[in-house]
Structure 1
Amino acid sequence: MDGFLRVNATTSAMPASPTNLFLAEEVASTCPLITPSPPTNDLINPPPDENQRTTFIIGEELANKLKHVKDDDKAAGDSGSSSSSVLAEPVCTQLLNHRHHYSHITKDENTTSQETNGKVQPMQLTFRNPPDDYFFMKWNWVLIRKVSIWTFLSGLIAMTALVVMMVGSLPKRCNPPTEWYQGGLMYEIFPASFHDADNDGVGDLKGIAIYADYIKQLGVSGVRLNSIFPATHYPEHYKNISTLLEIDPKLGSLRDFNNMVNALHLRNISILLDFPLYPHIQKLPSHQIREFNESQVEAGEFARKRSLENPNSDEISEALQFWMEYGVDGFYFKGLENYLEDPLFVPNLRRWKKLVRENPIIIDNAVLNKAPMELMNTILTNVDLVDIQVKIENGVSGIRNQLDSIQNGTLFSKASMPWIHWSLGNVDSIRLADRLHYGNATLGAILLQLMLPGTPCIFYGDEVGMHQVEDPENDREDLKHLHQLGAMIWEELRFTKKGLLPWMHGKPTHSNFKQLELVSKMAKLRVQSPSIYVNTVLKDGQSKANSEVKYSQGDLLVIQRYYPRRKSFVVVSNLGANLQTADLSKLLYTGNVIVGPKVDSKSESISFKEISLWPGESVVIELD
């Protein structure tokens, strides 16, 4: 086979001018064969036939001859090393500058075999010729490229749209979640004094529905109705109720009540009812405790069935179930402190809470003050709000002591504790405007109340500074206990078209509707700012009130509200009868006035270097 190399066996005498059997003389001399390899020139080795398989045979003799060539080169190198000129040159230089004699491999058919196990066996390397075309070469690669590009772009657009949609769906405010009765503004109404829609001289449920927009504009989240139940000589003696399952006819019918509930619910305002338990219920029932069945209560059949079978059944449970079916969202249990010594107090309270389920139960702080320690845990786990009246007339020192006592007490020890239901006045107290004898003191007091941690509640008329009913001639001494329940004074409409109220004697009271705007603004700010509306801050597993009295000297009170990673707020109130000026720069830096202190006040930057407030004024500031 002429296409293979042959190595001559002669190793002692190398030709002076090596001759390549395959290449030209000048090419062989200028391109020394450093590594023996088969030539690849197509002129010398023509390409094999496509239909033939190329076979290479490598024999043992070829390996031996290559070994002899290597030994000869080594010997030549050793002899040449004796020369000083050659010794001084590097090997690479020697290869380029000196002619070395190489014996080229020549063709020898005897070298195409090797000895294996004493026999000479040929070794063959076989290669299969590749086909002309592969199957994927016939694919429509133009279409494939277009489809791939559009698929990639479509996927990229879809992922971008998904990211944009996810970002857009994120909540704008990441505020801590609360129930509707936690942190929002409550509004307490005595229905007979709010508005008279049928002009009989007594307020009614229709009148409340008429002013649903007014209540909404005020920023109220829940309306709390005082006694609506039938009583002898209602409303003069509204506490002497005869049943918890009906409405006094002077207020309207169940249909009127349902219409009022719907009008308020449409405006996202909830309804709470005062439940005057004592003295209507002298002793808690016992027979219903043994026969109580939760599944019957869930189905709503327990109350109706019991009322038919036994006229002396548990009226409280029946009433709770009845009014929830008419859309009532919560209940204020009045007089509950009178049952603390009743042995059935605990099971009844638990049962009532199961009946109302997620609807809140409010109790007066007197229950906690009178309850023994063994009942405290049961009470706190079965109520949602505790009503506490702020003694605003006690001045700075009295308010600070009251706040410190409450915030360092049981109600702020755990996150699961009931929230505070703050009030400045109610159906049983003297009007706020008559307890604070200066200027727009009601506005300053309400701004201070709305900055307290918990759920504030405004008694109807206090938002406009309404006073007590005046009866200078004492015509009706028996109605003095109702002078705080005077008819609401409206800016546009009269309370009633009837000139003289049959149950209320006295002169009309005063009011200031200009401060409504600031009360409404403060109520909205409270809903938007967790620094103000939250009850406590959880830190290191402990619950801590996020309210701090920063300053209390003279008649000036400064309370700060804060929340992690949110802006802090302070309220500065003058609770005295004289102008108060103070330097608070050591405690606070600068901020922006958000609400107050006057009706015509504008939002502006303020420095605490010198702050001055007139009697009864309060200002709410957002700290920088």
Structure 2
Amino acid sequence: MNKMGVPTESTFLDVQLPKTLLESPSTSTFLPDEEAAFCPLLSSRMLGPIAHPLSPNHMDTDGITSNCQISLDCKAESSSTDSSSGIAIDVQESATTNLFHNGSYQHLQNNNINKEEDTHFIGKKSKDAPSFVSWNWPLIRKCTFFIFVSTILAMCSIVVAKISTMPKSCNPKTTWYRGGVFYEMGFQDSEYEGISDIGGIINRLDYLSSLGVAAVRLNSIFLPGNIDNVTSVLHIDPAIGNVSQLKVLADTLQSRNIALLLDIPLHNTFVNIHSNQEIVYNQITKTLTSCLDNGVNGFYLKGLDLFSNDLMLLKFLAIWKRIVGENRVLIINEKVLKGKPSSFLTAIQQHVDLVDVCLDLEGGTKKITNRIENILANMPPAEDSTWIHWSIVDSKLKHHNDRDSFNSDKIMAGTIMQLMLPGTPNIKYEDDMNGKQYSVHKLSDRSKIVSNMISLRKRSPSIYKSVICKPNSNIQNTLIRYTNDDTLIIVRNYPRRNSFASVTNLGSYKITMDLTSTFYSGTRMLTNETDKIFFKNFEIDPFDTIVVKLDK
């Protein structure tokens, strides 16, 4: 340094430092705490006491490698500054090299954790650490993943189950006695020589269920069994059954989703015995109450037209309907409404659910067409008003000898046509339709056709609905067409549903006609094989009804 012209007196360069300053306290006092904090600037291995930065032996004892010393000497020789600047550079480079030397960070390996202290750090828990730090997180992650996957699978299963159980169609609903099919049964046997009983009807329940009817309507069960000579509506004819059997029949039918209806006959014999009309009304009231307690779901007041001019009739109809209730049915004949003012008709229809209308097949298709059109005009169908109860009347059915095969075929064709009408059809049981012995084991071919038609009616709003409801009005969905060939065509329609057409031939000859001006094509229903039908050369056999689902 004398060569550089710097004074070398000891008073300028010799600095007396305390012994405590020469020895770093971190090696004995602060180093453990600092190492616990993992300070990256502190080494875990100290080579000795820290030397004075201005001591001559500083560069030799700082543990710097030879390569770094050569690099620093080259920098010092190439410097053009004075000797004091060289000293400053030497001190600064030494400190920096010591700070960032690889040896100073040998304890910061394996993610800044010393290999020797790695296991000690993992096993040691700080007092300030939260409790969840020591939880078994691998197991928790596995359980959470399993729960998540299980939840997704459960949700998918629920969605699939809901979709599979959804109804295949969304048809409008109606009350059971509106649009359903009633099945009328008497108690005469097939030869009209004796009287069956309630027990015999119970044996026919499988047959009734297979037909798919909504209700069974029994003719008179009161004394005596003949419906034309009833003298009391308070007692059941013992030859037919008793109250307990009637209860069993009603419960059994209801278990099969079939209602039980009773006819209450009010004919001349009964009226003549009870000349006081109020007594008759009171008996009817008692009969309704008693039968309702035994499970009966509705009544047909036959012969009520004998009291149509009585001023008390409207009052008692209101009483009887209140006794019967909203979900049960009260039926009267159209003769009760004949010749009455509109105000009376409006009042009486508030207490009556169905009005029975009879169709006579002997008048020909022209007469039937006029009859249906007049009924629909005088009693326009409505959703919440009185509905029409259609019945077929044929005088030849009263005499077994007159029921030949042609007459039986005509009744069958008329029954299918009847099931196409708007309202509630009332069909005769098979013994009355064809005079053949009833089979409890299987349906006959005729009964299968009737069953197929009832099933088609139940699932087709175009047929079982009497009207198309609009916000401000109701539109009829029935069109009646008549041709000169003794045929009757009924067309039924409903929005967003297929339309249906029935062609009935009540004549004794096979007919071929061209209906392309009205229809083009469709699918024949009620048969085992669904045949495609084109109306160019449409053929229909005598005493037959063909039902076609029209193409859209």
Describe the shift of the 1:535–1:430 C-alpha distance in structure 2 as closer, same or farther (beyond 3 A): farther
Q: Report if aligned partners of 2:266, 2:301 keep a CA contact under 8 Å in 1.
A: yes
Task: Output aligned runs, 1:416-455, within 5 Å.
Answer: 416-425=384-393, 440-455=409-424
Task: Output aligned runs, 1:180-579, within 5 Å.
Answer: 180-193=176-189, 201-231=194-224, 234-235=225-226, 238-279=227-268, 280=270, 282-285=275-278, 314-357=282-325, 358-412=327-381, 414-425=382-393, 440-461=409-430, 464-466=433-435, 489-491=436-438, 514-550=445-481, 552-579=483-510
Q: Report if aligned partners of 2:396, 2:403 keep a CA contact under 8 Å in 1.
A: no
Computing the radius of gyration from Cα coordinates, the structure with the larger value is 2
Give the letter for the 1:354 counterpart.
Answer: R
The residue number in structure 2 matching 1:607 is 534
In the alignment, the residues of structure 1 paired with residue 431 and residue 459 of structure 2 have an alpha-carbon distance, to the nearest angstrom, of 23
The residue number in structure 1 matching 2:519 is 588
In the alignment, the residues of structure 1 paired with residue 152 and residue 539 of structure 2 have an alpha-carbon distance, to the nearest angstrom, of 61
- Once the 2 structures are TM-superposed, how far is the Cα of residue 332 of structure 1 from its aligned partner? 0.3
Describe the shift of the 1:146–1:363 C-alpha distance in structure 2 as closer, same or farther (beyond 3 A): same
- Once the 2 structures are TM-superposed, how far is the Cα of residue 193 of structure 1 from its aligned partner? 3.4
- Once the 2 structures are TM-superposed, how far is the Cα of residue 230 of structure 1 from its aligned partner? 0.8
Q: Report if aligned partners of 1:284, 1:345 keep a CA contact under 8 Å in 2.
A: no
In the alignment, the residues of structure 1 paired with residue 395 and residue 223 of structure 2 have an alpha-carbon distance, to the nearest angstrom, of 17
Q: Report if aligned partners of 1:438, 1:615 keep a CA contact under 8 Å in 2.
A: no
In the alignment, the residues of structure 2 paired with residue 312 and residue 606 of structure 1 have an alpha-carbon distance, to the nearest angstrom, of 56
Q: Deviations over 1:116-147 (max 9, x none)?
A: xxxxxxxxxxxxxxx9x985766654344334
In the alignment, the residues of structure 1 paired with residue 513 and residue 281 of structure 2 have an alpha-carbon distance, to the nearest angstrom, of 62
Give the letter for the 2:460 counterpart.
Answer: S
Secondary structure at 1:424's aligned position in 2? strand
- Once the 2 structures are TM-superposed, how far is the Cα of residue 278 of structure 1 from its aligned partner? 4.8
The residue number in structure 1 matching 2:115 is none
In the alignment, the residues of structure 1 paired with residue 330 and residue 217 of structure 2 have an alpha-carbon distance, to the nearest angstrom, of 12
Give the letter for the 1:582 counterpart.
Answer: M
Q: Report if aligned partners of 1:194, 1:204 keep a CA contact under 8 Å in 2.
A: no
- Once the 2 structures are TM-superposed, how far is the Cα of residue 184 of structure 1 from its aligned partner? 2.2
In the alignment, the residues of structure 2 paired with residue 158 and residue 564 of structure 1 have an alpha-carbon distance, to the nearest angstrom, of 39
Q: Report if aligned partners of 2:361, 2:393 keep a CA contact under 8 Å in 1.
A: no
Secondary structure at 2:228's aligned position in 1? coil
Q: Report if aligned partners of 1:181, 1:360 keep a CA contact under 8 Å in 2.
A: yes
Larger displacement relative to structure 2 (259-268 or 612-621):
259-268
In the alignment, the residues of structure 1 paired with residue 454 and residue 514 of structure 2 have an alpha-carbon distance, to the nearest angstrom, of 29
In the alignment, the residues of structure 2 paired with residue 541 and residue 321 of structure 1 have an alpha-carbon distance, to the nearest angstrom, of 39
Q: Deviations over 1:285-327 (max 9, x none)?
A: 3xxxxxxxxxxxxxxxxxxxxxxxxx99822211101011111
- Once the 2 structures are TM-superposed, how far is the Cα of residue 425 of structure 1 from its aligned partner? 2.2
- Once the 2 structures are TM-superposed, how far is the Cα of residue 460 of structure 1 from its aligned partner? 3.0
- Once the 2 structures are TM-superposed, how far is the Cα of residue 528 of structure 1 from its aligned partner? 2.3
Number of aligned residues: 426
Q: Please report the TM-score for the alignment, with normalisation by the length of structure 1.
A: 0.61
2:155 to 153, 159, 167: 159
In the alignment, the residues of structure 2 paired with residue 313 and residue 557 of structure 1 have an alpha-carbon distance, to the nearest angstrom, of 42
- Once the 2 structures are TM-superposed, how far is the Cα of residue 416 of structure 1 from its aligned partner? 1.0
The residue number in structure 1 matching 2:106 is none
Describe the shift of the 1:250–1:462 C-alpha distance in structure 2 as closer, same or farther (beyond 3 A): closer
Q: Report if aligned partners of 1:190, 1:225 keep a CA contact under 8 Å in 2.
A: yes
Q: Deviations over 1:524-553 (max 9, x none)?
A: 222222222222221233222322125634
In the alignment, the residues of structure 2 paired with residue 261 and residue 347 of structure 1 have an alpha-carbon distance, to the nearest angstrom, of 29
- Once the 2 structures are TM-superposed, how far is the Cα of residue 428 of structure 1 from its aligned partner? 11
Describe the shift of the 1:563–1:492 C-alpha distance in structure 2 as closer, same or farther (beyond 3 A): closer
Task: Output aligned runs, 1:130-149, within 5 Å.
Answer: 140-149=136-145
Describe the shift of the 1:444–1:463 C-alpha distance in structure 2 as closer, same or farther (beyond 3 A): farther
In the alignment, the residues of structure 1 paired with residue 208 and residue 135 of structure 2 have an alpha-carbon distance, to the nearest angstrom, of 75
- Once the 2 structures are TM-superposed, how far is the Cα of residue 335 of structure 1 from its aligned partner? 2.1
Describe the shift of the 1:428–1:465 C-alpha distance in structure 2 as closer, same or farther (beyond 3 A): closer
* CA RMSD in angstroms, aligned pairs only: 3.6
Q: Report if aligned partners of 1:195, 1:203 keep a CA contact under 8 Å in 2.
A: no
Q: Which runs of 5+ in 1 are unaligned?
A: 1-23, 27-41, 48-130, 286-310, 467-488, 494-511
- Once the 2 structures are TM-superposed, how far is the Cα of residue 438 of structure 1 from its aligned partner? 6.1
Q: Report if aligned partners of 2:230, 2:267 keep a CA contact under 8 Å in 1.
A: no
Describe the shift of the 1:177–1:441 C-alpha distance in structure 2 as closer, same or farther (beyond 3 A): same
Secondary structure at 2:199's aligned position in 1? helix
Q: Report if aligned partners of 1:574, 1:613 keep a CA contact under 8 Å in 2.
A: yes
- Once the 2 structures are TM-superposed, how far is the Cα of residue 619 of structure 1 from its aligned partner? 0.7
In the alignment, the residues of structure 1 paired with residue 407 and residue 237 of structure 2 have an alpha-carbon distance, to the nearest angstrom, of 38
Q: Report if aligned partners of 2:408, 2:433 keep a CA contact under 8 Å in 1.
A: no
Q: Deviations over 1:528-583 (max 9, x none)?
A: 22222222221233222322125634322221122222222111111223322111
Give the letter for the 2:336 counterpart.
Answer: V
Secondary structure at 1:227's aligned position in 2? coil
Q: Which has the higher helix share?
A: 2
Describe the shift of the 1:284–1:411 C-alpha distance in structure 2 as closer, same or farther (beyond 3 A): farther
- Once the 2 structures are TM-superposed, how far is the Cα of residue 392 of structure 1 from its aligned partner? 2.7
Q: Please report the TM-score for the alignment, with normalisation by the length of structure 2.
A: 0.68
In the alignment, the residues of structure 2 paired with residue 267 and residue 426 of structure 1 have an alpha-carbon distance, to the nearest angstrom, of 31
**Residue identity (%):** 34
Secondary structure at 1:571's aligned position in 2? strand
Give the letter for the 1:490 counterpart.
Answer: Q
Q: Report if aligned partners of 1:585, 1:609 keep a CA contact under 8 Å in 2.
A: yes
Secondary structure at 1:382's aligned position in 2? coil
Q: Which runs of 5+ in 2 are unaligned?
A: 1-74, 79-94, 101-125
In the alignment, the residues of structure 2 paired with residue 464 and residue 379 of structure 1 have an alpha-carbon distance, to the nearest angstrom, of 33
Give the letter for the 1:444 counterpart.
Answer: A
In the alignment, the residues of structure 2 paired with residue 553 and residue 520 of structure 1 have an alpha-carbon distance, to the nearest angstrom, of 30
Q: Report if aligned partners of 1:227, 1:276 keep a CA contact under 8 Å in 2.
A: yes
Q: Report if aligned partners of 2:390, 2:424 keep a CA contact under 8 Å in 1.
A: yes
